[in-house]
Amino acid sequence: MVKEAGERIEIVPPVYKAVKVRVTSEEIQEVVPAVYETVKERVLVKPATNRLETVPAVFEEVEERVMVKPAGKKAIEVPAVYEDVTERTLVRAAYTTWKPGTATSIQKIDEKTGEIFCLVEVPAEYQEVTTRVMKTPASIRYDEIPAVYETGKRTVLKSAETTRTIEIPAEYAEREVTRLVKPATTVTKVVPVDYEREIMTEVQPATQKRVAVPAEFEMVDQQVILVPAKQYCTRILCDVNATAEKMMEIQRALKAAGYYPDGPIDGVVGANTTAAVAEFQKAKGLIGDGYLTLETVKALGVAAP
């Protein structure tokens, strides 16, 4: 079905008929013109404006002290000062010696000669040496040299160039103008008349009617589920248990049952083996879709691993 059956509402227009009536009076609209007056009034001819005027800069001469030569320092070399210093220098140190003497001052008697010697102390000998030594080393003294100034005149800016605003007043004039005193209006008046005119009178008002709308169909192709998908859980022969020896037992059992007549007994699960298993399961009403379930293995008479 493309479109369901339903109803449609149709409008049936009203029915009118012409009727003649006599008119004895009617309303007319009469325009009352506007009222104006002429008066004198002050009219703006030129509005007020502003004008920018430039005020020139102002300069003046000023005296100022200008440095001609900056302050500095003068290096003056001060010579070294020397003085003579006299020092007493030891020429020979004091010492003792044996000299011939009298008996009163016997110190040692030479037994062989019988001469008398006295041990005499000879005083030290000194010599005065005059040396010229530096008292004050040579140095450099810096004398301050003051800066040199001169008085001069120069022109400086006293006030910068600016602008000022000058107001120009508005200009007015007296003119005659026309002013509206009372706006135009309309007045409704009833005037006598005598004539016939034809008017349309409604005999039957507009109505609604319901019209049945049949359903619309068209042929379409669609897929229908004959057998719904289903899930099942079963135990199968896994890769660990599906050894070559076990597969050869199954292939021999399928060949003995007549489902694997030309298949090789090689222990390999190939297309021929899978097709033979599926055919055996279908014949025995077993589930598996070609998979080696433990139930299928038992039905073939092969010992389950």
- Most confidently modeled range among 103-107, 214-218, 291-295: 291-295
Range from 60-74, 90-104, 149-163, 222-236 carrying the lowest mean pLDDT:
222-236
Cβ-Cβ contacts under 8 Å for 285 (sequence gap 6 or more): none
| Total Cβ atoms within 10 A of residue 277 | 26
210/61: higher pLDDT: 61
**Average pLDDT for residues 136-141, to the nearest whole number?**
90
CA 290, CA 142: separation in Å to the nearest integer? 122
Looking at domain 224-305, which of 1.10.101.10, 2.30.30.700, 1.10.1050.10, 2.40.50.140 is its CATH number? 1.10.101.10
Percent of the chain with pLDDT over 70: 89
Q: Provide mean pLDDT across the span 26-34.
A: 84
SS3 228: coil
Token pair of 305 as six digits:
């691993």
**pLDDT, position 169:** 93
pLDDT (mean) for 54-83: 89
Mean local confidence (pLDDT), 185-195: 83
pLDDT at 221: 62
pLDDT at 273: 87
With a cut of 60, say whether residue 227 has pLDDT above it. no
Rounded to two decimals, the pTM is: 0.28
Q: What tokens were used for 122? A: 């000879």
Summarize the confidence of residues 225-233 as an average pLDDT: 56
Segments making up each domain of the chain, as ranges = 1-48+178-222, 75-139, 224-305
More confident residue, 231 or 210: 210
Query: Is the confidence at residue 223, as pLDDT, over 70?
Result: no
pLDDT value of residue 105? 46
Q: Could you give the C-alpha distances from 292 to 4, 29, 268, 272, in angstroms and in order?
A: 53, 108, 13, 13
Q: Which tens digit of pLDDT belongs to each residue from 232-277?
A: 567 777 777 778 888 898 889 999 989 888 888 988 888 888 898 8
